[in-house]
Structure 1
Amino acid sequence: MPMLRSTLTLVGLCCACLVLTSVSADPRVSSEQELAELQKTIRQTEQQVQQQRQALQRAEQQLQRADRTLAEASQQVRHQQQALSETERRLTELQDEQQQLEQRFAEQQQQLAAQLRSAYQLGQHDYTQLLLNQQDAGRLERVLTYYHYFNRARVAQLQSIRETAERLSAVQLELTDRQQQLQQQLASLEQRQQELQQARSTQQSTVQDLQRLLEEQGQQLAYLRENESSLQATIDALKAKARQVELSGLTPLKGQLQWPLQGRLLQRFNELRQGGLRSRGILIEGTEGGPVNAIANGQVIYADWLKGYGWVLVLDHGEGFMSLYGHNQNLLKEPGEQVMAGEQIALVGRSGGQANPGVYFEIRDKGEAVNPLSWLQSR
């Protein structure tokens, strides 16, 4: 913004000089008129500066709102997908249990039928007739023993059948409920995905509006410098928070670190960026919504939206080393959480005004940016 103010002020003063030159050539114009014209030109220049500053601020605020809306929609889709997966897992369990219960129920019925056939073959007279028949006491005792045995077995078998039937009924009810829940979750997921797509479209439109405004104002360089200054201030502030836990740094892993994602390089370290500034990191192309992974073990020390870089996550790796991941669609970790190498920490996006989906990635050694390609695995 200072550059915008000075540029427009210079234009205004030049215009004022032209006015003075013009009026001075005409002896009929009084000095009061000359002063009034100069003051008018200065006021118009200041108004233009103020209007352009306000327009840029509105565009930045709209971009932040669009990024936040997209992140929320992305998080809702993610939660809905997790709930859907859990429902599907439970449905599979219930279907397996239902199949086992039905098989057990059939076996129990067969066992009960076998018991009834055995009891019938034991004697074709009822329990009362046996008590009245005292001709053979030994046979009576054996038959009564068999009867007691079969009765106990039948009671136990009937109880098992009853329990199996009750559990089968409960499983069938839950299965029906889960199937209905699955249909509702599928419908909700479809709605969330539509909202996510709408949020993406809004974000892309906002990015285009911001870029167009910057071009009209000729403020790309000033905007990039201001964003970089904000990032550096954030990094400097984070240095005080680093090494809250014992971490071994990145030095032993130089040249062996995992890539945060697989994709072609859109921008290399120290390469000229739009506006003439040199990049302090690399920009890796990705698929929107794809995984962003930690390059090494670390602790999250920053996870928030940052002007020019969108949703940013910073990991402390110990020994003064930090890694930074920007332009994410959504962040999956909170400050204070510890992560392992290869663990997913964010989703690929285009937040912060990025035109194409990807991740801006930096490695910092004691606050100074180093070439990430010297630290990551060669490919």
Structure 2
Amino acid sequence: MEFRRITGLPPYVFTIIDGLKQEARRAGNDVIDLGFGNPDLPSPQIAVEKLAEAAMNPRNHRYSQSKGIPKLRQAAADLYLRRFGVALDPETEVVATIGAKEGYSHLCWVLLGPGDSALVPSPSYPIHLWGPLFAGASIREIPMGGAVDHGEELLDRIRHQFLYSWPRPRVIVVSFPHNPTTKCVDLPFFQGLVDFAREQEVIVVHDNAYADLGFDGWQPPSILQAEGAKECAVELYSMTKSFSMAGWRVAFMAGNPEVVGALSKLKSYLDYGTFQPIQIAATVTLNEATEYPKEINAVYQSRRDALCDGLDRIGWEMPRPGGTMFAWAPIPEPYRHMGSVEFAKKLVTEANVATSPGVGFGPGGEGNIRFALIENDQRIQQAIRGMKKALPELG
């Protein structure tokens, strides 16, 4: 039988490493999982308490609103004013989504169709590539370059790819701080991108998944801070990382009112939103747990330091991430010939450390692996010791 939208899906290479991880654990090995970016930190206590309270009220068991309850959208607007200095109309410029992946995927349905194309980063978080493809569009890749090269160089590559692509892309997809490369940009980059998008009449979609995970005092900007951004841009903000609420599936899209309205209209046919007690709990969390993202950020920065300092000690050089909950590491020269999948296999079987092969993020990710900072500092130190033994040619 032929299945229309999934026929072209490649094997999910992350399952290879996951299978080896499970096999090693069944054999009694203590595998340290730095692969899947699944936050291990607890959600705010206020979120849990408010969820339990709201769930006890049977009125909250009925259908909710697909665009999100009004108080949640107002809380999202208040967050943007507080965090970024951006004023949003919660009625026309904010729509709640069932996590950022759902919002992005369905957004591609309203922006793209067969015969269209989108510019997408390479390497890329997989759904950024597959969202346009699921909508029937084609993709043109934006080479991300190094984690520390200049934003102006990336902006030049985006302009070049856009102007020399056919069909002319209808959408430019970006995400900073970037997963998997951890590349960061500043507000002048976004201003240049917005200026270009307005000039070319193209929509920019910014997945701001790591909006609150910036290290060493740096705070990631929002594209909506750029002058004129609402004319051409929308942004996805998720509570997954900032508030460690991964399983709750609460996010929202904000920005251009026409695009927000289009996604809201589609969602009105597809869903009734997240379970209302979750929306109520998320609303209270956004309003009252305003310092929680800073606490989360401090934990991830400490883990980044533990990993990067440890890798330095064993002779594995890599750029120090300026944000995200990941580290993007070039495979050390003595092992580069193996490729990212075989090297990741080596780490899980010989060092008891699970990572993500770079090729899983597209061909542009080959030659690298991604560490997820989802274990505490002590476990990361244990991982360093295991990798030192498994990689004797380092140093």
TM-score by length of 1: 0.24
Q: RCO greater where, 1 or 2, for CA within 8 Å and sep 6 or more?
A: 2
- Which structure has the larger Rg over C-alpha atoms? 1
* TM-score normalised according to structure 2 size: 0.23
